Chains A and B, each alone.
Chain A
Amino acid sequence: MPPDRAPYDVVVVGLGLAGLVAGLGAASGGARTLLVGKGHGTLRFRSGTIDVLGYWNDRSLGSPAEGLPAVAAERPNHPYALAGEDLGSGLEAIRTTAGAAGLDLDGSLEANRMVATAAGTLRPTCLAPPTMRADWDGAHVLVVGLAGYRDFQADLVASVLPAAGAKLGLEVEARAATVDLPSLHRHHLSGLELARLFDQSAFRRDLLAALRGTLGGATVVALPAVVGLEHAPEAAADLARQLGVTVAELPTLPPSVPGLRLELAVTAALRRAGARLQVGTFVRAIPQGGRIGWVEIQSPGHPLRVPVGRMVLASGGLASGGLEVRLDGTLRETVAELPVWLPEAAQGALVGRSFLESGGHPVSLAGVQVDGAMRPLGREGSPLYENLFAAGGLLAGADRAVEKSADGICCATGWRAAQEAVA
């Protein structure tokens, strides 16, 4: 039997960006908040930028603001159609929290900026750390690979970057160099280990010594986005100052160091605000009448039952395990067994034939349908539980990878869900 006194006002399930934003919203509103999740969220898989809206209907957008009205008008179940008004507040919450930890996020809804990636492509984003900013037009880029680090292939980046620029009308020149240092001499160097090396001034000194000779007329030095973890701003500033050119970080394969920096900044702020975080446990929500009665937190021995005042479900989409495809091709929501909406196009085949199918794969639009208060809806279209709110990748109606909208959706819906949960 569940205990009768709820130790928490708000239980947030999921530790991705949506859960973190919801946690910030709840904790800063004075609610006693518990955040619990099976694993770390997708921040660690992503760029560490805050993407809001890069494309709509395959059209590239100069700014998110330019596209948001069309989204609301054309796709009524899109998370921005439902919670777009809270986008600004959600973004601001993340920006101030990150900023307080020394991690600035530059940009605004009025402009998308282009960040370069480890594939040599240029992609639009809304907010980005200053270390990803560079003036690409007219740039002479020296792309620097690090021996022993496999997830950043400098030759590939240098080959693609000029063409990627040309596609956007930018003139970019690039060449590659690989730096080989004794400290890099081991196989399987992970991004995280490299970031810790970058935190050390001794390593940076060695790197600078190796780089100086190869600089030529470069105006930008492009490095994998592993330039420091705990002392990232300092590490990047040091390199830029000593080299006398812009140093740009290029997001690459997971684990994402910039994503991790952001996650650490936000979780630290949450703890300071009195929230509790519990990582590594699978959670089930148990209904009781017309509400979620408690959550069952898996633990060795017997499951822990935590009574729920209000609950924010931010367990993510397919990649995070919030949604799951069954053997028969239908989808289930894994925490509260909520009904999952599947677009009609997905009923024939969940995915298309080509990996980069233009317009995306039908299954990506699947998810939980909610009302304007982020309350999950039943098949008949009315809210299922009075105390349950959903946010983030779990929600139906958006293909985040196509739209380049994942982070903005998390911010808007996470913030809205928290407001409703503390109301």
Chain B
Amino acid sequence: MASRPGYDVLVVGGGATGAGLTRDLAMRGLRCLLVEQSDLAHGTTGHFHGLLHSGARYAVRDAEAADECIVENRIVRRIAAPHVEDTGGLFCWLEGDPDDYPGQLVAGCQKAGIEIEELSVAEARRREPLLTPRLGRAFAVPDATVEPWGLVADNAESAVDHGASIRRYTRLVGLGVEAGRVLWADLEDLGSGERERVEVNFLASAAGYWAGRVASLAGVKLQMAPGWGTMVVMNQRLSSSVVNRCRPPGDGDILVPVGPVSILGTTDTTMDTDNYEITPEEVRFIVTEGAAMVPAAAERRALRVFAGARPLYDPGHQHGASRTLSRSHMVLDHANDGVENFISIVGGKLTTYRLMAEHTADAVCAKLGVDARCRTAEEPLGEARKAPRHYSLGERLTAREQEAGGADADLVCECELVTRDMVREFIESFGTPHIDDMLRALRLGMGPCQGAFCTLRAAGILERMRPSGAAALEPIRLFLDERMKGDRPIMWGDQARQFRLNEIIYRDVLALDHAP
């Protein structure tokens, strides 16, 4: 039976919440081990809409959430500036939308201290030329966008700087509970398949929508109601600010500019599954709703779709649509369930990840009798001393060329500017990765050509570094199939055309269909 020198706290889950929690605890002087079953930010954090809420979306119905959002919005802009783009947000009231909502929105925002300003239709259209002619009124709010991978990576790095350990691709698979205390945890290394038993002093679960499953390992019943939402990535930046529909929050009413693309969303389907299947109908619905605000959305190309699950907590007896469940977070002390040294954090939003971490760390410290103040709202992350930035098209290529000492970047994937060195390094540090892992980690194959070129190139580099002989085409096949999942629901327009072109390349010209 293996054991490890004790950590003060074992944190489960490397999303924004878990990474933020580990940082917070480490800054308060606690020794932490964070385990994440996949890559950091692989869960809901990497599959969200991208919005750093101003709180305006919640101002009418959920005052508490609105208050939290605007406070955290300002803090995150300060501590994580490089990952925030100050896009601003617009609420657009269209002819036919409820007459009384604009008034309620303004009142709610003013109550929560969210700066809101009505713009003339002409001014709104000057800022966003693609807005619909049906635009009747427009309100500006301090919405922004936030890039989750960088945010989580910086939190993790800061945690490590403060003495924490982080293990990725490590899953918590078992807990030993005796006399009302968690004594040990079984961790499985998903690379090697090896299991290790570590002693547990205190367990904090930030496992997102998996929180119920983690709790059940300790025999604790925790009912989650994962609310799945689908988002559609459009191949163009359709607006420069976040565009919201000015009516009670519902499906398909937000359009978020993220780097070179725009993300339309979203939906809300309560379902306890790991494999939510996106349907073409829901995608068409989202695009049609998005086009109500920005008509060009219907003509532009959908690049891919993805879905994430809101980590919503069902305190019991509440059934039906999860949008009515609270989006505010809750810290659950499982002493109430008979396990003394175990806390879960559930619910919440990415925007409030820091606050969630603070509340959880406060609770952990209280239980451990540690008297230390939270400092995460004051201390900037990484190189966050820079000002918030605006996205510019040439940005990434310039960066790659600087890395190459000013020469042309040696690109494997032109769409997403992934270089040969990036692919090599990735393969070196990850053994024999799938090309799909490169997509997630490097964005390889994510762009408009849908992997037409980089798939063969990446497979070639992989084969050179990790020869597999006759099986060398397997990574290509797996990747093409994986892509297919995201492609099927958006088979129209240029996307369908690119799909067929890729089929001509890989099935017809390269004849993968009868390959060994």
Residues of A with C-beta under 8 A to B69:
none
User: Which of these, A55, A321, A325, A349, contacts B492 with CB under 8 Å?
Assistant: A325
A254 within 8 A of B: yes
User: Which of these, A117, A187, A351, A353, contacts B409 with CB under 8 Å?
Assistant: A187
Nearest-CB residue, chain B, relative to A405: B508
Q: How far is the CA of A120 from the CA of B461 in the complex (A)?
A: 15
Would A327 and B298 count as touching, CB distance under 8 A?
A: yes
Would B503 and A254 count as touching, CB distance under 8 A?
A: no
Would B456 and A119 count as touching, CB distance under 8 A?
A: yes
Would B470 and A162 count as touching, CB distance under 8 A?
A: yes
CB distance from A119 to the nearest CB of B (A): 4
User: Which of these, B410, B464, B503, B508, contacts A361 with CB under 8 Å?
Assistant: B503
Residues of B with C-beta under 8 A to A354:
481, 484
A397 within 8 A of B: no
A181 within 8 A of B: no
Residues of B with C-beta under 8 A to A153:
456-457, 459-461, 463-464
Residues of B with C-beta under 8 A to A317:
500
Would B503 and A329 count as touching, CB distance under 8 A?
A: no
Given contacts A121-B510, A327-B287, contact A166 B492 (CB under 8 A): no
Would A326 and B492 count as touching, CB distance under 8 A?
A: yes
Nearest-CB residue, chain A, relative to B478: A355
Residues of A with C-beta under 8 A to B411:
187-188
Given contacts A167-B516, A355-B480, contact A118 B510 (CB under 8 A): yes
B306 within 8 A of A: no
Residues of A with C-beta under 8 A to B472:
120, 155-156, 159-160
CB distance from A180 to the nearest CB of B (A): 14
Q: How far is the CA of A166 from the CA of B507 in the complex (A)?
A: 20
Q: How far is the CA of A211 from the CA of B472 in the complex (A)?
A: 25
A253 within 8 A of B: yes
Would B492 and A46 count as touching, CB distance under 8 A?
A: no
Given contacts A160-B472, A402-B507, contact A155 B496 (CB under 8 A): no
In chain A between 352 and 394, which residues have their CB closer than 8 angstroms to a CB of chain B?
Answer: 353-356, 358, 361, 363-364
Would B463 and A319 count as touching, CB distance under 8 A?
A: no
Flag B449-475 by CB within 8 Å of A: 1 or 0 each: 000110011011101100111101100
A32 within 8 A of B: no
Given contacts A151-B457, A167-B516, contact A120 B473 (CB under 8 A): yes
Residues of A with C-beta under 8 A to B284:
327-328
- For the complex, would chain A's binding face be called helix, strand, loop or mixed by DSSP majority? loop
CB distance from A289 to the nearest CB of B (A): 32
Would B501 and A319 count as touching, CB distance under 8 A?
A: yes
Given contacts A351-B499, A356-B480, contact A327 B492 (CB under 8 A): yes
Flag B184-198 by CB within 8 Å of A: 1 or 0 each: 000000000000000
Given contacts A118-B456, A156-B459, A327-B287, contact A46 B509 (CB under 8 A): yes
User: Which of these, A121, A324, A353, contacts B514 with CB under 8 Å?
Assistant: A121
Q: How far is the CA of A404 from the CA of B514 in the complex (A)?
A: 11
B493 within 8 A of A: yes
User: Which of these, B412, B457, B473, B504, contacts A42 with CB under 8 Å?
Assistant: B504
Residues of B with C-beta under 8 A to A120:
472-473, 515
Would A318 and B500 count as touching, CB distance under 8 A?
A: yes
Counting chain A CB atoms within 10 Å of each CB, the highest count among B298, B408, B411, B497 belongs to: B497
Q: How far is the CA of A329 from the CA of B492 in the complex (A)?
A: 7
Given contacts A188-B411, A350-B491, A400-B508, contact A355 B464 (CB under 8 A): no
Counting chain A CB atoms within 10 Å of each CB, the highest count among B452, B468, B511 belongs to: B511
In chain B between 478 and 496, which residues have their CB closer than 8 angstroms to a CB of chain A?
Answer: 480-481, 483-485, 487-488, 491-493, 496
User: Which of these, B459, B513, B516, contacts A164 with CB under 8 Å?
Assistant: B516
B323 within 8 A of A: no
Given contacts A120-B473, A318-B500, A354-B484, contact A163 B516 (CB under 8 A): yes
Would B481 and A404 count as touching, CB distance under 8 A?
A: no
A47 within 8 A of B: yes
Residues of B with C-beta under 8 A to A404:
508, 511
In chain B between 397 and 431, which residues have their CB closer than 8 angstroms to a CB of chain A?
Answer: 407-412, 420
Interchain Cβ contacts under 8 Å between A and B, 24 examples: A118-B510, A119-B473, A151-B457, A153-B457, A153-B461, A156-B460, A164-B516, A317-B500, A318-B500, A324-B496, A325-B491, A325-B496, A325-B497, A326-B493, A327-B288, A327-B492, A329-B280, A350-B491, A355-B483, A356-B480, A361-B503, A363-B496, A401-B503, A406-B504
Beyond A46-B504, A252-B510, 8 additional pairs, beta carbon < 8 A: A119-B515, A121-B510, A156-B456, A156-B464, A166-B516, A188-B411, A355-B477, A364-B503
Closest A-B pairs by Cβ, 9 of them = A153-B460, A163-B470, A163-B516, A123-B511, A355-B480, A119-B510, A401-B508, A318-B500, A325-B496
